[in-house]
Amino acid sequence: MAYLILGLILWSAGHFFKRAAPDMRAGMGNAGKGVAALIIVVGLVLMVIGYRGAEFVNLWYPPVWTVHLNNLLMLVAVFVYGMSATKGRLRGKMRHPQLTAVKIWAVAHLIVNGDLASVVLFGGLLAWAVLEVVVINRTQEWERPAPGPARKDILLVVITLVMFGVISWIHNWLGVWPFPG
């Protein structure tokens, strides 16, 4: 559990570095980006090691139907995440699509997992994403991008479905089949 918590702290620190110490990061030039990226990657690795190695402490038993809700929310999360890269009509409909996707992803996983390590991991990342949005909104103005052609939104739907399939395959490969039988 210590690795998991340390990983969450490093992940958050790496992401907040630019906003918490902007002069220091700017003074470091490109090395500042590299340091932040390294801190984030180390945090991610520690979260994975900590989560996989954490003792299972059950807090509640989620109903079986929550798996279906999780899968629906995950499909939405993948779509919303993809909105950050779209050049279609949906461009500019949401200020923080990636962070919103992380929040949807975290809630989806909190719904379907009732153990302590899951609450720490997904709850911690949910808290980070909420705080990140608050900090960004307070420190940066947003210039809404102009919408693009609708055909790019159709491409986003196709990419979402493919990515959802890839993510499902990776979950299966890791030993967690995301679809109940």
The Cα 166–Cα 108 span in angstroms is 18
User: Which stretches of the chain are assigned E, i.e. beta strand?
Assistant: none
pLDDT digits (tens, 9 = 90+) for 56-89: 999 999 999 999 999 999 999 999 999 988 888 8
pLDDT tens figures, 100-121:
999 999 999 999 999 999 999 9
Confidence tier at 129 by pLDDT (50, 70, 90): very high
Residue 82 CA to its chain's centroid (Å) = 12
Q: How many helices (H) and strands (E) does the chain have?
A: 7, 0
Amino acid at 172: N
Question: Residues 6 or more apart from 96 whose CB is under 8 A from it?
Answer: 132, 133, 136
Q: Using one digit for the tens of pLDDT, what is the confidence trace for 15-42?
A: 988 888 777 777 788 887 888 899 999 9
Please, which residues bridge with residue 115 across strands?
58
In this prediction, what percent of the chain has a pLDDT beyond 70?
99
Please give the model's pTM, rounded to 2 decimal places.
0.90
